[in-house]
Structure 1
Amino acid sequence: MAETVLVTGGTGYVGGWAIVALLERGYDVRTTVRSLTKADAVRAAVAPRDQLTFAVADLMDDDGWDAAMAGVDYVLHVASPLGDETSKDPDALIIPARDGALRVLKAATRAAVKRVVMTSAANAASPASYAEDGITDETLWTVDDPKLPAYRRSKTLAEKAVWDFMASYDGPTELTTVLPGAVLGPILSADNVGTTRIIQRMLSGKMPGAPKIGLEVVDVRDLVDLHIRAMLSPEAAGERFLGTGEFIWMREVAAALKAGLGDQAKSVPTRELPNFVVRLASLTDPSLRALTISLGRRNRHSTAKAERILGWKPRPAAQTVVECAQSLIAHGVARDRMAG
């Protein structure tokens, strides 16, 4: 009989690709949705298959999680709770992230699943300032500081909470965490562009220029592959794995789009914006505020551990951003609908 993998958040960008990859590998997949009304959209995105079933569960509610875990062999916890990113109170993001992760892990341990692989973020293993030189690895933990963006704090504190729980847990369930960088790549549906919105904005011409920000681009398909490798490898139990991909400046992203798309990238900005312009714009544009900490960033993360232990190798960043853009164009969502 095929093993069963529970994927949290089947409506999400990473969740959808995780479902696709697991089904292709012959697993039975169960995915959580907050309402069964979302099930048809997931089926349409990943192609209907008998091996895909649904469970209703919300990261902010205990109900449904024990039923979702019944008979499950592995859990890929890739979902992110719907915290309020516009709130000035950091707890609006921190509490949902931390409590949601613990809720999933505790339900998994009650069901004695073999292993939980949880998606954290590279910013949970970063120095206090991205402007610091050097390459860091999984041994570094971000020091919680109220001055840091709430999203970065939420990822760090959520991951710390699950590892603290496992430190006092005595049972068969194992934990592994994966820490991705900027997740880009093709989309499965026009209704879910996920974290590709930055490429949308570049294609739409809504960006006046490229901010001096470096992204560690990981293709969503490679990220899912890393999760599955971490799920299966005996050596991955109890480990953190950075999955950041290649470092690329935003101006290099623009150049890759121009080279790969030709006239379809005519609206992509090529000039680099001075840092002070971005900081001034962030005073009136909330979406830019979280970016200001990354201006001029030099710190990078090492994926040597994932490559050595799991045999993981991500594809080049330029390939990912071009295929991301091609997918957005093919799905008719190259124009950033959020930007009007």
Structure 2
Amino acid sequence: MAETVLVTGGTGFVAGWCIVALLKRGYAVRTTLRSLSKEPSVRAVIASAGAPTDRLSFAVADLMQDNGWDAAMAGCDDVLHVASPLGDGSSGDRHALVAPARDGTLRVLRAAVKAGVKRVVMTSAAATARPPLASERTSDETVWADPDDPQFDAYRVSKILAERAAWDFMAESGGATEFVTVLPGAVFGPLLTRDNLGSVQIIQRLLEGKPSALPKLGFWVVDVRDLAELHIRAMVTPEAAGQRFIAAGEFMWMVEIAGVLRSRLGQRGARVPSRTLPNVVVKLLLPFMPQLRGLAPLLGRRFPLTAEKAHRVLGFAPRPVADTVIDCAKSLG
């Protein structure tokens, strides 16, 4: 009988690719939805990616509610906790998403420990391992970001505090259940659905010619398909237990991403901007660009980061970021 893996947040970008990868490997997958009304569309999306759906089942559970999690966990061998509340960086309250992210994570972990699952792999964020901007230290798994650091917006603060709370809980109450966290950079790659675009909004806006000139911002990018594979390796590799893993490929400036789109998409990339904006101009425009407000401290910065541990322990081998960008753009239609 196939092992059963619970994947939280089945409508999400990363969760969808985790489900596809697990089903193609022969696992049975149960995924959580806030309403079963989404089941037909999720099943169709997973099938469209070439995955068999006869071993895919659904459970109703909400990160903000206690009800449903025990039933969702029943009979599961492992858990990929991927779901998390999303923010657009525009909230003035940097702690606005902390409660849903932290409390939702703890609900999942309590139910997992109670059900006796073997291992929980949680999706965190590379920002949780980012040192202060003034530091020359390389971002790696030994670093814990300071949630009070002004470089972090509400979404990243929620990720930092949720991961900290998760490790504290598992140290005190995890019992025999093992725990691993995966810390991805900016997640690009082909969409399975147009819901919850997340980082992919950056590519979409560039294709629309927005903004007309580019801020000097860059990202450590990971392909969503490589990230899904890494979650599974983190789930099955014995040496991964009790570890954090940064998941990132190459660093790319927005102007480099734009250049890839223009050079490889032909007419489809004709509207992609090529001009850059000086940092001082971007800062003046930030009050009118709420989606970039959370990235303001990173203007012009290429902070050092390493995913060596994921390469060494999990055999992480990310594909070229240029290919990821193009596959992402093509999936946008």
TM over 0.5: yes
Cα separation, 2, equivalents of 1:324 and 1:132 = 33
Tell me which residue corresponds to 1:193: 197
Is 2:138 aligned against 1:135?
yes
Cα separation, 1, equivalents of 2:172 and 2:142 = 20
Instruction: For 1:169-208, list aligned pairs within 5 A.
Output: 169=173, 171-208=175-212
Q: Deviations over 1:24-59 (max 9, x none)?
A: 000000000000011111111111611100000000
Describe the SS at the equivalent of 2:221. strand
Cα separation, 1, equivalents of 2:212 and 2:172 = 51
Describe the SS at the equivalent of 1:92. coil
> What displacement does 1:156 show?
0.6
Q: Deviations over 1:159-218 (max 9, x none)?
A: 000001111125210000000000000001234534211100000112112211111110
Tell me which residue corresponds to 2:122: 118
Cα separation, 1, equivalents of 2:24 and 2:284 = 47
> What displacement does 1:134 show?
5.2
CA 1:252–1:87: 2 relative to 1, 3 Å: closer
Say if 1:126 and 1:142, in contact at 8 Å, map to a contact too: yes
Match 1:53 to one of 51, 54, 57? 57
Tell me which residue corresponds to 2:261: 257
Tell me which residue corresponds to 2:35: 35
Q: Deviations over 1:45-97 (max 9, x none)?
A: 11161110000000011000000000000100001135696543333211111
Amino acid at match of 2:142: T
Stretch of structure 1 that moved more, 188-197 or 303-312:
188-197
Tell me which residue corresponds to 1:300: 304
TM-score, normalised to structure 2's length? 0.95
Point out where structure 2 has 5 or more consecutive residues left out of the alignment. none
Describe the SS at the equivalent of 1:283. helix
> What displacement does 1:132 show?
4.7
Tell me which residue corresponds to 1:150: 154
Describe the SS at the equivalent of 1:248. strand
Cα separation, 2, equivalents of 1:81 and 1:193 = 13
Instruction: For 1:1-340, list aligned pairs within 5 A.
Output: 1-47=1-47, 49-81=53-85, 86-129=90-133, 132-133=135-136, 135-145=138-148, 147=150, 148-169=152-173, 171-329=175-333
Stretch of structure 1 that moved more, 65-74 or 36-45:
36-45
Describe the SS at the equivalent of 2:288. coil
Amino acid at match of 1:280: L
Amino acid at match of 1:136: S
Describe the SS at the equivalent of 2:191. coil
Amino acid at match of 1:267: R
Cα separation, 1, equivalents of 2:71 and 2:91 = 33
Say if 1:118 and 1:176, in contact at 8 Å, map to a contact too: yes
Say if 2:89 and 2:293, in contact at 8 Å, map to a contact too: no
Point out where structure 1 has 5 or more consecutive residues left out of the alignment. 330-340
Amino acid at match of 1:143: D
Say if 1:181 and 1:244, in contact at 8 Å, map to a contact too: yes
> What displacement does 1:285 show?
2.3
Say if 1:134 and 1:298, in contact at 8 Å, map to a contact too: no
Q: Deviations over 1:234-260 (max 9, x none)?
A: 000000000022111111101111121
Cα separation, 2, equivalents of 1:87 and 1:201 = 20
Cα separation, 2, equivalents of 1:118 and 1:168 = 17
Amino acid at match of 1:89: D
Amino acid at match of 2:294: A
Amino acid at match of 2:141: E
Q: Deviations over 1:266-289 (max 9, x none)?
A: 000111111122222211221121
> What displacement does 1:133 show?
4.3
Cα separation, 2, equivalents of 1:288 and 1:5 = 36
Say if 1:132 and 1:298, in contact at 8 Å, map to a contact too: no
Superposed CA RMSD in Å reads 1.6
